[in-house]
């Protein structure tokens, strides 16, 4: 059995690239043993994947890093893949026992999926499109009773100017603009609408909820990411600002409208070049943005 130690000590969206790599490894070598070094942010999510044998958190204090090195040194790894390209991961890997170490190609002109294909090639494996179906080896049921034909609007902090990168275009809606947009979504799609939030529900949405929503609208605030993933997988369309949810929609081949910053288009294309059923739209003042979203429905 071939053993793999894979470092992915950042966020959930980043790991949704690594699971493409893991899918390919497991398909080419079903008996492989895979250990992932995670962060606190993505540990719970990574643990939900049945094809991963062990997940270990990398804590950021020096004593904890030393303890981790001693723990990992008790094993030999045929392959170490520093997929997060973090200095801390590279340094820890120096002290471990392994046959081969791979660090991804971070050339600015190469997409992340092409970098993954390079790693797969170095392992003497092949890549096929079904490796992109990253969320198939799961066993998680949505904890709330909801099963409708719906589209999903993920209204998180990226819509709120002061809560996101203030150098980016302001897309924050006025209350009346958001109410009108919700109404248009219901009319044009003729489907139920689910609105989800990030870890903190925006005040503008809370104000609208307090004044009353259309009965065809359901709001789920501050969901666990595993629940959010299941909701996205059941939706007919995802509308969101680019993030982890975008990767989930792509993995499930859910149609999506992904809102990105125009001056960062090249950066986003590195992440999204393998996305299926994908449409992107640039951030712009909400009146124009909402109009352009409606045109893409």
Report which of 133, 163, 168, 85 is spatially closest to residue 254, judged by C-alpha positions.
133
Written as tens digits, the pLDDT of the chain (297 aa) is 899 999 999 999 999 999 999 999 999 999 999 999 999 999 999 999 999 999 999 998 999 999 999 999 999 999 999 999 999 999 999 999 999 999 998 777 899 999 999 999 999 999 999 999 988 767 666 666 666 789 999 999 999 999 898 999 999 999 999 999 999 999 999 999 999 999 999 999 999 988 888 889 999 999 999 889 989 999 999 999 999 999 999 999 999 999 999 999 999 999 999 999 999 999 999 999 999 999 999
Beta strand pairing call for 256-260 and 33-38: unpaired
Beta bridge partners of 81: 6, 102
pTM of the model: 0.92
Q: Residue 106, Cβ neighbours under 10 Å: how many?
A: 10
Contacts 24+ apart (CB under 8 A), 260-268: 261/165, 261/168, 261/169, 262/169, 264/168, 268/242
């Amino acid at each position: 059995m071939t053993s793999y130690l894979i470092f992915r000590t950042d966020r959930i969206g980043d790991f949704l690239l690594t699971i493409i790599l893991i899918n390919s490894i497991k398909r080419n070598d079903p008996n492989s043993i895979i250990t992932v070094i995670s962060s606190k942010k993505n540990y719970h999510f990574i643990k939900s994947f049945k094809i991963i044998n062990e997940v270990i958190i990398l804590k950021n204090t020096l004593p904890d890093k030393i303890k981790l090195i001693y723990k990992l040194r008790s094993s030999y790894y045929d392959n170490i893949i520093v997929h997060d390209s973090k200095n801390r991961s590279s340094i820890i890997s120096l002290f471990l026992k392994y046959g081969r170490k791979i660090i991804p190609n971070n050339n600015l002109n190469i997409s992340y999926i092409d970098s993954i294909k390079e790693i797969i090639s170095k392992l003497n494996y092949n890549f096929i499109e079904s490796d992109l179906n990253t969320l198939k080896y799961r066993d998680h049921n949505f904890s709330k009773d909801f099963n409708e034909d719906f589209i999903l609007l993920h209204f998180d902090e990226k819509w709120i100017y002061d809560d996101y990168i203030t150098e980016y275009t302001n897309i924050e809606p006025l209350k009346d603009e958001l109410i009108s947009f919700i109404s248009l979504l219901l009319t044009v799609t003729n489907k139920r609408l689910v609105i989800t939030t990030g870890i903190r529900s925006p005040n503008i949405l809370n104000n609208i909820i307090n004044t009353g929503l259309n009965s065809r609208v359901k709001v789920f605030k501050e969901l666990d990411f595993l629940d959010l993933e299941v909701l996205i997988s059941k939706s007919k369309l995802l509308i969101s600002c680019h993030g982890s949810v975008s990767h989930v929609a792509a993995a499930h081949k859910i149609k999506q409208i992904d809102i990105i910053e125009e001056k960062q288009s090249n950066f986003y294309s590195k992440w999204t070049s393998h996305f299926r059923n994908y449409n992107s739209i640039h951030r712009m003042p909400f009146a124009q943005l909402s109009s352009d979203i409606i045109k893409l429905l």
